[in-house]
Structure formats: structure tokens, C-alpha cells
A = this chain, B = another copy of it.
Amino acid sequence: MDPRKPFDEFRKLQETIHAYDHAMGLLYYDGDTTAPSASAPGRGRTMEVLSGVQYDLAAGDRARALVAELRAHPEALDDRERREVEVFARDLDYTSSIPKQEFVEYQVLVNEAGDVWHRAKPANDFKSFAPYLEKIVDANRRFAGYYKPEDKPYDVLLGLFERGLTMEACDAFFSALRREIVPLLEAVTAAPAPDTSFLHGTFPIPVQRILSDRVMALMGVDRTRCAIGETEHPFTTGFNKDDNRITTHYYENDVLSSLYSVIHESGHALYDMGSGDEYEYTCLAGGVSMGIHESQSRFWENLIGRSEAFCGLLAPILRELFPEQLGSMSARQLFLAVNRSAPSLIRTEADELTYALHVCVRYDLEKALIAGDLAVSDLPGAWNEKMKTYLGVTVPDDTRGVLQDSHWSGGAIGYFPSYALGSAYGAQMLAKMKESFDVDAAVAAGDLRKVSAWLEERIWRHGCRYDPGELLVRCCGGPFDPSYFTRYLKEKYTRVYGL
């Protein structure tokens, strides 16, 4: 037999799976962006059919037999092909551990839950969402047990988003962060805060839409391959290198919220769009983990986006688009204002210093939910308590509390730690980047292509070729070290607050 034949069939299978992933991804995206509000049940019926086929393709007998055959003859494959088989097999092992009926029901459940959450959030109505979240928590716990019955369920879930991540590692990471952040935050809170009063005003949404276009252009986002839409909660999705979508949420009285969402989501999109052409339509295309993904989005949002050099690029655009509101704002004023640190209610709008504390809240709660130590009905109270403990803030309602994020409604439990991890990965990458060239000078000169090229070469183009740990070593020359991040925070806030 031709030893390449199984591999050719394997490639063909991946292309077929890709078509279903595209259709399912588009159904979700459409549900969040454009679809009318009563459309969820009909979309659920379609998803039920398509996800059943997805399951059969990705985890059915033919897929298993192919993987077994390919693994039996590793010599017929090159390194990259062997990696492809292994990455595919991981998904197969996970998916096939779940009974098909439950897999399909779960797709239908998260579609419905997303719909319910969309109405529950603005209505401050946790009760209507709770039964869905209960089912999602149960399903996640069950799926973790099917997949790796010997492991703790929340460890399994963490590993789905960041291979190898465990509660033990998270606990160590988060306490290291808190050790540095808490005293720094105390010093910052005691110091005079930068002025942000000039940001108060009305910023018409049509003009904010133009601002999105301008900042995406500045970052070099190829708009022929990336569209922008509007949703309750900003996110990024993509179907292939040439078809990516980011979303944002405009608030008329807050120009920074959408601006930094757009920078963040564009960071995700750049990563996906920079994946190597040779990986397209295989399981190696796109980002390798949520931690690395967030490292890219938060790199742009914070390490670049909240740098003084980048504020020097933003300020003239903001002055031009909002002459009445911001006509006299200097770059320095903007830089200080976007780095004002204060405990707050909303994660996506938190400054870099308090951000990790928002993640800690979610991490603790997810851990307790999955362990069965916390009932969904007690979640709002527990949320408010944790917010008080970690951030010292009083949560006024569930809209700005436990209902603020879309992740849980979409079934993503174990995702949040990726944000903090990504922030820390990013700081380590920035330190390495600075060995190659003067990053601040390049940004100040508007030469963001230099930043992109560095990231593309070391991160983006590799797709899922390497596991996150290995990718980081290849990129930074050493294993993950969170002290880059804490040093970065200390230096930055010392400078901003003149500590």
C-alpha cells in the first residue's frame, strides 16, 4: 500500500472538519452579532445536526482508525506531519471520551445559554441564567471526568486552554503576582492619581467606529481579511487566515473602553492571521493556546497600547476625531490617564495592575464551582465577597458583577487564568524583543511593523507547531518566568505614579 495514502485521507478529513467548524463558528458569530433575538432555538436545531456530524468526523471510527494507522508508521511522516497527527489525536481523545449525545446536547446548551445570558446581563437577572450555568458546570465536570478520570476535574479544564496548566501552578503564579501587586497597589492608591477628567464627555458612536478603523490601520490589521462587528462582549473569531472577525462594544460616554477592546481583539486577530500558510486547513493552523493567544492580545493592549510611545500615536488621532472633547489633550496626559490604576468593577476595563486580581476572583470561583464547593445559586454572593477581598470594591449589581463576562455562558470554564498568564508571557516576550531593537523608538516612530514582524517570526507563524511551553522557550530563550511581568509592573507604575 502507498504509505502516503492514509495521510492524504487524514488531510482530506481535516479539510472536511474545517468546513463544519467554519459553519458552526459562523452560526455562533452570527448569533452574537446580527441574528434577531428569537433566533436561538432555530439555530440550536441546526447546530444539533452539524455538531453531530462534527463529532462523527473528529472522533468517529474512521478518524480513530486513521490515527492508529498513522501512528503505526511514523517513519512515513516528517516531523511536522507527526505533530499534526498528535495534535489531532489529542482533540480526538478528548472529544471521543464524551458520549456523542452529550457532546451534541452541550453545543445546543451553550447556544441557548448565550442567548439567555445576553438578556440576563442588561436585566441584572442572574436567576434566569443560573439553571443554564448549572448545566454548563455539570457538563464540564462530567467531561473532565470522562477525559482524564484520574485527574482533578478543574486541572483537566485548565489543561484544555493551556496544555500542562494545573491548579498547583496557578496557585503559585497567582500568589507570586499578589505578593507584588498588593503592596504596589497600596502605594499607588496612596499617591495622587493621574487626571482623567478630560476624558469625560460624549463620544458619538459613528465617530468611535472611525476610531476603530484608524487604530486597526495603525496596527497593520489587513481589513480585507478582518472585519469588525458590535456585540455585548468583545471577542475575536476566525474561520481561516483570510476570514477573521473582531467585535467591540461602544459606549457613548467612554471612548477608551472600545478603543482598548479593539486593540486587544486586533492582537488576537493578528496572531491568527499570521499563522503559517503551510498550516491552513489543518489542525496546526491558528493559535496554540489561550495563554499564548492572550499574550498577543494583551501585548498590544497594554505593553504596546498603554506605552507612552503608542499614546504619542493615539493622541493626534483622538484630537482629530474628537476636537471638541479632546482637542487640547497631550500625549503625556493620555499616557498617564490610560495607566491610572484603581480597583474597579469591570475586568475588561481594568488597568494592568489590578487586572490580575479580577482574574483571581474568577479563578477561585471556578475552582470552587467545579470542585462542588460552591453552588451556582451562591455564586453572585461569592463573587461580591471575592471582589471585596481582592479589590476592595462593592459590587452594586450582577450586571457589573457576576454577569459581566460572556465566557461561562459559552462554556469556557478554565479560560480566565489564560489572561493573567498571557500578560506575564507578554512581559517576558517584550524583554526579549528589547534585546533585538529599541521597541519604544520603533513605536514612537509609528513603525509598528517592526513589532509585528518580530512576533510573527517567533510566535504567529508557528501556529500549533509547538506546545506553549516550548514555543515560549524558543521565543524567549528560557522557560516561563513571571518575574518579568512583576518587574515590568513595578517599573511602570513607579514611573507613572512617581513612587
Contacts and interface: CB of A to CB of B under 8 A. Distances in A.
Interface of A: 15-16, 18-20, 22-23, 26-27, 30, 33-39, 41-43, 45-46, 48-50, 53, 206, 222-227, 229, 239-245, 281
A222 B38 CA distance: 10
A36 B240 contact: no
A30 B36 contact: no
B15 A240 contact: no
Tell me which of A41, A206, A242 has the highest count of chain B C-beta atoms within 10 A of its own C-beta: A242
B33 A34 contact: yes
Tell me which of A15, A33, A35, A42 has the highest count of chain B C-beta atoms within 10 A of its own C-beta: A42
Tell me which of A16, A46, A241 has the highest count of chain B C-beta atoms within 10 A of its own C-beta: A46
A264 to B, nearest CB: 19
Contacts of A49: 15-16, 19-20
B26 A30 contact: yes
A361 to B, nearest CB: 34
B19 A227 contact: no
A447 B15 CA distance: 53
A238 to B, nearest CB: 10
Contacts of A245: 34, 36
Given A16-B49, A22-B42, A53-B53, 15 more contacts: A18-B45, A19-B45, A19-B48, A20-B49, A22-B46, A26-B26, A36-B227, A38-B243, A39-B239, A39-B243, A42-B239, A42-B241, A42-B243, A46-B239, A206-B206
29 contacts: A15-B45, A15-B49, A18-B46, A19-B45, A23-B46, A26-B26, A30-B30, A34-B34, A34-B227, A36-B224, A36-B225, A36-B226, A36-B227, A38-B222, A38-B224, A38-B225, A38-B243, A39-B225, A39-B239, A39-B240, A39-B242, A39-B243, A41-B242, A42-B239, A42-B240, A42-B242, A42-B243, A43-B239, A53-B53
Copies in the complex: 2
Contacts of A16: 49
A243 B35 contact: yes
A281 B26 CA distance: 21
Contact of A38 (B33, B43, B242): B242
Contacts of A27: 22-23, 26
B244 A36 contact: yes
Contacts of A226: 36
